[in-house]
C-alpha cells in the first residue's frame, strides 16, 4: 500500500468547531468590554493556534497585560465549552472506519494545546484514530514540522509513506516542510481559490474522496 499512514489536522478538517471557538472568543471579548467578532471573522483567524486567534480578535493596540487577561478568559471558557456544538463533519466517521478496515494507521496533529486535542480525540475518535498530538513544551505549533515528525515516529511511517490532510495554508506549508504529500479539504475554514494560491495541489470536496487517493 502506497500510503499506510495518514495524519489529519483537527479543526476544519475532522471537526466543525467554529461555533464553539467563536462563542468562547466573544465571551472573552465581552467580558473585557471589547467588540465581538462575527463567525466569518473568527473563521479567518483560526489555524495558527488559540493565542494567534485571540491576538487577531482583540482590539488593535490592546496592551499586552490586558491581552493576557482576555486570553486567559478565552482559555477557561473554551476548556469548559469546546464540545458544546463541535462535531465531526458529515462523512468523517465513515471515512475513518474505512481507513481502519484497510489497516491504515492514523494520527491527529493540531495547533490546539495538547490537552484539548487529546480530550477531543478521546471524545470523537478514540476508536478510529491511533494517536493525537497538539502544541506542548516539546511540540511547536505548525508550520514547524515537530508534530508531523512525532506522528510519523509513532505510526512507524516516513514522508514517502504518509499523507497529511488539512484545510489551511498552515497545513500546506507544514507538509511542504516535512516533504509529505498534502491533501487539502474544501469543507473547512478556507475557500478553494485562496488555498490554490497558497500552493494546494490536490483538493477534495468530501471525505470519501480521500479513499480513492490512497
Residue 75 to residue 105: CA distance in whole angstroms:
31
Domains annotated for the chain, with CATH where assigned, are 5-16+87-213 (3.40.50.1000), 18-81 (1.10.150.240)
What's 8's DSSP letter?
Answer: E
Q: Is 9 annotated as catalytic?
A: yes
Kindly list the strands in the beta sheet with 202-204, ordered across the sheet, starting from the edge strand earlier in the chain.
Answer: 131-135, 105-113, 5-8, 162-166, 181-185, 202-204
Residue 167 to residue 184: CA distance in whole angstroms:
5
Sign of the CA dihedral with 14 first, then 205, 85, and 169 last: positive
- What does the pLDDT look like over 172-192, one tens digit per residue? 999 999 999 999 999 999 999
Is the pLDDT assigned to residue 3 strictly greater than 80? no
* pTM of the shown model: 0.91
- What does the pLDDT look like over 79-98, one tens digit per residue? 899 899 999 999 999 999 99
Residue 11 to residue 117: CA distance in whole angstroms:
10
- What does the pLDDT look like over 132-173, one tens digit per residue? 999 999 999 999 999 999 999 999 999 999 999 999 999 999
Beta carbons of 18 and 43 less than 8 angstroms apart: yes
Amino acid at each position: 500500500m502506497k500510503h499506510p499512514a495518514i495524519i489529519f489536522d483537527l479543526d476544519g478538517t475532522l471537526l466543525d468547531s467554529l461555533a464553539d471557538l467563536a462563542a468562547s472568543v466573544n465571551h472573552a471579548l465581552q467580558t473585557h468590554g471589547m467588540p465581538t467578532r462575527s463567525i466569518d471573522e473568527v473563521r479567518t483567524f483560526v489555524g495558527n493556534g488559540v493565542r494567534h486567534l485571540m491576538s487577531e480578535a482583540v482590539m488593535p493596540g490592546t496592551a499586552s497585560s490586558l491581552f493576557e487577561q482576555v486570553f486567559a478568559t478565552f482559555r477557561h471558557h473554551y476548556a469548559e465549552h469546546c464540545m458544546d456544538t463541535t462535531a465531526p463533519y458529515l462523512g468523517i466517521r465513515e471515512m475513518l472506519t474505512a481507513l481502519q478496515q484497510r489497516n491504515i494507521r492514523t494520527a491527529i496533529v493540531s495547533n490546539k494545546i495538547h490537552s484539548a486535542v487529546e480530550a477531543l480525540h478521546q471524545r470523537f475518535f478514540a476508536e478510529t484514530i491511533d494517536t493525537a498530538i497538539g502544541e506542548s513544551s516539546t511540540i511547536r505549533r505548525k508550520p514547524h514540522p515537530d508534530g508531523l515528525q512525532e506522528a510519523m515516529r509513532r505510526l512507524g511511517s516516513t514522508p514517502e509513506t504518509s499523507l497529511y490532510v488539512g484545510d489551511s495554508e498552515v497545513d500546506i506549508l507544514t507538509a511542504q516542510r516535512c516533504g509529505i504529500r498534502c491533501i487539502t479539504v474544501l469543507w473547512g475554514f478556507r475557500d478553494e481559490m485562496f488555498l490554490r494560491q497558497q500552493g494546494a495541489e490536490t483538493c477534495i470536496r468530501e471525505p470519501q474522496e480521500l479513499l480513492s487517493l490512497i
